[in-house]
Amino acid sequence: MEWNQTVNEDIPLSDNIKVVVRCRPLDQKEKTMGLKEAVTVDEIRGTITVNKLDMPQEPPKKFTFDTVFGPDSKQLEVYNLTARPIVESVLGGYNGTIFAYGQTGTGKTFTMEGVRAVPELLGIIPNSFAHIFGHIAKAKGPSRAGNEREGPSQGSVSPSREKTIKICFLVL
């Protein structure tokens, strides 16, 4: 494929690493302690400004990322803008990695796993699985011959073609 081609007309392919930041809201314990939010998120410009609340004379520090999500962001919004293009590329035969990194208590587990009992709170992992297995279910048609197997695909698959998707999840 050429550099600017797409898996489908909606999702451009890219070999670039994207850095995405999601800032979580203060939890109840932090609010009870009277803590204030020290970051300002500008989702349009892709910036996060860190204010030193204990040293207001210090200038704030501004950081720019490919995409940023504020405390009010929704799980599906995060999935659709960050993980969905990677999953689509994987379904098109490319390698893809989603790497969550951050300090303890910053919301990685919530973003990646979510709350399984509440559909709108599902994280990137269960949404990715639903996307992949939904794609497989759509790609599988009635068997054309007794021993033929079909795997996930973009469009039709020759009966002798099979694809493997390997998914790894590691928490350190």
Binding-site members are: 102-109
In eight-state DSSP terms, residue 154 is S
Q: Which two tokens stand for residue 156?
A: 């039709």
CB neighbour class for 74 (10 Å; exposed up to 12, middle 13-18, buried from 19)? exposed
Give the 3-state secondary structure of residue 129. Answer: helix
Annotated binding site for ATP: 102-109
Give, as one character, the DSSP assignment of residue 107.
S
Integer Cα distance of 42 and 68 in angstroms: 7
